[in-house]
Structures are given as structure tokens and as C-alpha cells.
A = this chain, B = another copy of it.
Amino acid sequence: MDHQPNKAVILRLAKYLRVLKKLKTLGFVKVFSNNLGDAVGVTPAVVRKDFSLIEIPGNKRGGYNIDVLIEDLGTVLGKEHSQEVVLVGCGKIGSALMEYREFQKEGIKIIAAFDSDPAKIDPQRQPAPILDIEEIAEFVREHGVLVGIIAVPDSAAAAVFDSMVDAGIRGFLNFTSVDLKCIGKCDSEDCPIECTVHNVNIGLEIENLFYLVNMRHKRPGCRDTDDGVQPCPQPRRRSAE
């Protein structure tokens, strides 16, 4: 009956939550499905359906109470749990992530980083130590960490992934260009370990952009090139009328 919210829904829920926090700082007390829809770029019906799916109730004429909404979305998204992650790989990208402001703002904490290079190890480092990769299993088990970031060179990706799964990590943000899949790696005969890998494949993203941009340029009658021909033929409107 009640289907679990899928990935797309969850993503929207997180977006609603961000918008709501902003609206609250502006003094809003209640909010309507169309407000949220506009902010996130979906129709009001989607918003209501998303909320109904996770059983957040509204008021037939009064919309949704913003405090209740923030509270409930936080609960559903697991915001009341401490959001502690470990990071593996202290190269350029890894180091950048260690100081990533957004994490603090969203209550996400990197509680330890790991590297194989002895020169980088610094157990006294504040606010989080950099430890030898060999220690990851012990650390993860001790702290019950479930989510990890992989920012190592491609060549080390698979091995690091394996050891993280072994240690108990079940959610991965993967910055390598290696497609890490749990299926196959984690399945055993009768007891599959389920884990989730989000691949942040920057190279693929850029390739995609080139395709889309080039496409558009090739389209007859739709070029905004140097020669003065302006963008597109048909106005495509979304908001208002």
C-alpha cells in the first residue's frame, strides 16, 4: 500500500527542507504546496503527494505548519541522527571537502580522514584526525559510521571500497571515475549486503554538457553563435502565463 519514497522523492524532500529553513528565517509560519512547488520547480500536486507518501499532514485550508514540516522532514531524512562520515583520500579533492562549509551548515561532520601516505597522517589534527588507511576498519566499527566519502586515485578505488564495505560503511559518495557497484562485490550467496553508491563523475558531467551545448548549436534556426544569430525560435514559458 504505502510505497517507500523513491530516490527522486527523497531528493525533493531534502530540497523542501532547505527552502523551509530559509522561509522560517524570513518569519513564515505556514506554507502552501504551491509555495514549495515554485521554489523547488515542481507542481503543487507533487509536493502534496510527496508529503502524503511520508504521512505528513496538512490543513485543508491552512496549508502546512512550517515548524511541524521542518521537524517531520528532519525526522524522515534522519536529521536527528548525528550525520557522521569518514573521508578516504586526502589529496586535492579530499582536502577541499574537509573544509567544505556546506557540511557544517547541514550538520554533516567528517569525523576522520584516512590516507595511505605517511606524510599526510596527523592524528592530532583538529577538528578531525587524519589516520592511516590501515586503521579504518577499527575506527569505523568503534564509531558506528555508516557513510563514507571516497576521494582517492582511480587506481586505489576498488581496494578502498572493499575495505570500507568490510568495515561496515553502507553509503558511499564516490569521487573517482571508477564505477563502484555493490552488486557482485557485496552479494554473498544468501545474504546480500545492500549499500548505496552515489557516483559524482565530474568528467561524465562535463561531457554531457558538451553534448547538450553542441546539440543546441547544431539545431537549425537555433544558434546563438558569434555571427549575430540569436538563440531560439519558440519562446518556452514555464511560470505565470
Q: Is the CB of A209 within 8 A of B202?
A: no
Q: In the assembly, how many copies of this chain are there?
A: 2
When each residue 146-187 of chain A gets 1 if its CB lies under 8 Å from chain B and 0 otherwise, what string results?
110100011000000000000010111100010101011011
Nearest opposing residue in chain B for A98, CB measure: B92
Q: Is the CB of A147 within 8 A of B209?
A: yes
Q: Is the CB of A211 within 8 A of B78?
A: yes
Give the number of residues in A that approach B within 8 Å (Cβ atoms).
85
Highest count of chain B CB atoms <10 Å: which of A7, A207, A224: A207
Give chain B nearest CB distance to A224 CB in angstroms: 7
Among A1-33, those with CB < 8 Å from B are 4, 7, 10-11, 14-15
Which of these binds chain B: A45-53, A55-63, A118-126, A190-198?
A190-198
Q: Report the separation of the CA atoms of residues A144 and B41 in the bound assembly, to the nearest whole angstrom.
A: 31
Nearest opposing residue in chain B for A83, CB measure: B210
